[in-house]
Amino acid sequence: MDHADLASALETLHPDCFGWAMTCCGRRREEAEDVLHDAYVTVLDGPARFDGRSSLRTWLFGIIRQTARGRRRRDRVRALLGLRHAARIRPPASAPMPDEDAVAGERRERTLLALGRLPTRQRELLLLVFYHDLTIEEASRVLGISVGSARVHYQRGKKRMARLLAGERP
């Protein structure tokens, strides 16, 4: 895939990539924008090369996730060394919901709260599969885990979400 084709594909996939970056950055918009920019630079001008072993989308999601992890790790080290303040903690950004009624807004809020209570791996798998329409196999590649492990975390995450949404203790 040449540079022009890759740039065109990035433009097409940008909304999905931005959504995944928001997930990886705890819904912090500025951080997600920075991570996505860094990931795009890595893809377009850096060492990352698409080899076709997975779909382009799956490959991009993996790069975005690794970029976000690297950024968090770097920020923690800098904070420990006193090089700069740790990333400011901001409340998650919520998208405006002008057309949603109160019931749908409440359901969305309950779902987001329940997702926030899941372990990271389960939350990421459910978001990749349900929100980003990846298969469990593709999600396992994004997360860098085996398909078997992804299936287990996926099943546990679904069960825990059901209990949380039903108001039971997880």
Q: How many CB atoms lie within 10 A of CB 65?
A: 21
Domain check: are 39 and 1 in the same one?
yes
Long-range CB contacts for residues 110-113, cutoff 8 Å, separation at least 24: 110/165, 111/165
List the pLDDT tens digit at each of the 170 positions of the chain.
788 888 899 999 999 999 999 999 988 999 999 999 999 998 988 788 888 888 999 999 999 999 998 888 887 766 655 544 434 434 445 555 455 466 667 777 888 888 889 999 999 999 888 888 888 998 999 999 999 999 999 999 999 988 988 886 65
CB 36 within 8 A of CB 18: yes
One-letter amino acid of 164: L
Among 70, 93, 116, the domain boundary falls at: 93
Domain check: are 119 and 46 in the same one?
no
Which residue's structure tokens are 């599969």? Answer: 129
Domain check: are 83 and 158 in the same one?
no
Q: What is the pLDDT of residue 11?
A: 93
Q: What is the pTM of this model?
A: 0.61
List the domain range (segments joined by +) for residue 32. Answer: 1-93
Q: What is the pLDDT of residue 119?
A: 94
Domain check: are 42 and 82 in the same one?
yes
CA distance 49 to 127: 25
Long-range CB contacts for residues 160-163, cutoff 8 Å, separation at least 24: 160/118, 160/122, 161/114, 161/115, 161/118, 161/126
Number of structural domains the chain divides into? 2
